[in-house]
Structure 1
Amino acid sequence: MKIRKWLRILHRDIGYLGIGLTVIFAVSGIAVNHIHDWNPNYSIEQSTTQVENIPSTNNEDIVKHVLNELEITQKPEGWHRTSPNHLQIFLEGNTVDVNLETGKIVQEKVSPRPFLREFNVLHLNEPKQAWTWFSDLYAVSLLFLAISGLFLLKGKKGWKWRGTWMTAIGIVIPILFLLYYR
C-alpha cells in the first residue's frame, strides 16, 4: 500500500478521534483569551435589597436577622466586619454585604458556568496526572495531522505549490505578532 494512502487513512481516523478534544480546547481557548473581559469559569450575579430594623447587638444576631429577612436558610460559613458599619456574611456561592447604617444589602452570587468551567479545567490541565499524558498524546496527534496534511494532496494544491505558501504564511503570522508585541 502506498504511503500517501496510509497517511490519508491515519489523517482521517486521528482527525475523527480528535474532534471532541479540538472543540473543548477551542471553546476554552476563546474563553481564556478573554479572561480580562469576563470570568469564563463562574457567573457572578449582583443584586441589591434593603433590610429594615437591623439589630445593633452582636454580629450573630445581625447575621440571623439579615438571613431571615432575605429568606436564606443556608447556614453561613462565616462573617466579619469590614468596617464599623459593614458586615460581610459568607455562604456557599453567595456573599452578603450589609451596610449596618442604611440597611442596604448587596448580594453577590457565584455559580459555575455549565460545560465551560469543565472545559477550562481540562484546557488548563488542573487534573494533572493521566490527563497530562492524554493531552500530550493529543498534541502529538495534532503535530501528525499538521505534518501529514502537507503530503495528502498532489499537484498545484499540494505541498510543492499552494502548500508551501500557505505553510509559510501560517509560520510568519505568529512571528509577526511576536515581533510586534515584544
Structure 2
Amino acid sequence: MKQATIRNLHRDLGYFYIGLIISFAFSGILMNHRDSWHPEKYTIETKAIDVKLPSDEKDITEDYAKELGKTLGIDDKMRRHKVDEGKFKISFEKHDVEIDTKTGKGEIVSYIKTPIISQMMKLHKNNSNWWIYYGDIFGISLIVIAITGTFMISAGKFSFKNRGWKLALAGIIFPLLILLFV
C-alpha cells in the first residue's frame, strides 16, 4: 500500500470512530471503578427499615422477595435477590434493599440513572445482535488504525522501524505481566 493510502485509511477510520472511541474509553474508566462507586446511578433517598424475616433462609424465595418489595412500597421490577453472609439483598430496577438476617434491620436505597453516563455504560453491556456485529467491525477497525499507525512515519528516528517497535513491544508486555502476576 502506498503511504498516502495508509494515512488516508488511518485518518478516516479515526475520524469515523472518534465518538465511539471516546465513549468506550470514558465508560470503560467508569466501569473499572464501579465497585468503589456507582457512576451509572445515584442515590436520591435512603430509608431505614425493620422487617421480620422468616427464621429459615429456605423460606426467603423469589416470591417472598417480590411480596416483601410490595409490602415495603416498592412498585418496581425485581431483578434478583440473594441471602449471603447474613444479609438479604433484593435488587430492583430503581431500588436496592439490604436487610440483616439476624436483626431484621436494613435500608432501602432509591436511585435514578445518571443521565448520559448510564447510556454510555450500556455500550459495554449491550449484547443485541446488531451491536455485536457493529462492535466486531469497530474492533477490526481499531486493529487497522493501530497497524496503519505503525506505517505513518516511514523513516527517521521516530519511525516504527527505529523506535516504535520498542514502545509497541512494551505496550504488549506490560498488560501480559499484569495478567500473569496480579
1:147 matched to which residue of 2? Answer: 147
In the alignment, which residue of structure 1 is the partner of 2:75? 91
Aligned mates of 1:114, 1:4 — CA distance in 2: 43
* C-alpha separation in 1, matches of 2:171 and 2:109: 44
CA deviation map 1:101-142 (0-9, x unaligned): xxxxx653210111111111122224x111111111111000
Q: How far apart, in 1, do the equivalents of 2:17 and 2:43 lie?
A: 33
TM (norm. structure 2) is 0.67
Amino acid at match of 2:140: V
- Structure 1 residue aligned with 2:20: 21
Deviations 1:126-178 (A, max 9, x none): 4x111111111111000001111111102211111111111111111111101
Correspondent of 1:80 among 56, 68, 77: 68
Code of the aligned partner of 2:75: L
- How far 1:15 moved relative to its partner? 0.3
Tell me the equivalent position of 1:101.
Answer: none
Shift of 1:91: 2.9
Q: Secondary structure at the match of 1:90?
A: coil
* Preserved contact between residue 44 and residue 110 of structure 2 (Cα < 8 Å): yes
Question: Corresponding residue for 1:159?
Answer: 160
Q: Which deviates the most, 36-45 or 9-18?
A: 36-45
Letter in 2 for 1:149: G
Secondary structure of 1:38's match? coil
Letter in 1 for 2:109: E
Q: Distance in 1 between matches of 2:97 and 2:138?
A: 44
Kept in 1, the 8 Å contact 2:3–2:152? The answer is yes
Unaligned stretches of 5+ residues in structure 2:
49-65, 77-93, 99-106
Secondary structure of the 2:34 match is coil
Identity of aligned residues (%): 31
SS in 2 for 1:163: helix
Counterparts of 1:96 and 1:38 in 2: how far apart (Å)?
17
> Corresponding residue for 1:117?
118
RMSD: 2.7
5 Å matches for 1:1-182? 3-48=2-47, 80=68, 88-92=72-76, 93=94, 108-126=109-127, 128-153=128-153, 154-181=155-182
The structure with more radius of gyration: 1
1:4 shift after superposition:
0.9
TM-score (norm 1): 0.67
CA distance in 2, matches of 1:135, 1:159: 28
5+ unaligned residues in a row in structure 1: which ranges?
50-77, 82-86, 98-105
Cα distance in structure 2, aligned partners of 1:141 and 1:45: 41
CA distance in 1, matches of 2:29, 2:96: 29
